[in-house]
Amino acid sequence: MANAAVVILAGTESHADTGRLVNGLEAAKEFAETEGDEVELIFDGAGTQWIPELEDEDSDYHELYRAVRDDTSVCDFCAGAFGVEDAVDDAGVVTLDDHDGHPSIRSLVDDDYEIITF
């Protein structure tokens, strides 16, 4: 049994960023599919920009995203800072603002989650 928080920080600007997104989604999916594991998928920083694209059914990564959508949350502050607040609200994705408007990484560590960043 494992607890993992997969944090997507990569933006949408480069092929390398897309690679980090896909690897992060695949990692989250593996935890989600493993009985007894717990996973939190958090889009933070520039990673919040992925939400409008991933919510689009025509996106190459929509189905992969849908496999972990129930475990997904977004940094509240960063969604606003990167201009995707309305898209996140429209999608109904949970926003986190536990620590100064951002997700609390410390609370995840305190709950024995391994933090994996992409």
Check residue 44 and give its pLDDT.
98
Tokens coding 32? 């989600």
In tens, the pLDDT along 7-38 reads 999 999 999 999 999 999 999 999 999 999 99
Q: Whole-model pTM?
A: 0.97
Check residue 23 and give its pLDDT.
98
The percent of residues above 90 in pLDDT, for the chain, comes to: 100
Q: Give the strand order in the sheet containing 94-96.
A: 94-96, 72-75, 38-43, 3-8, 114-117
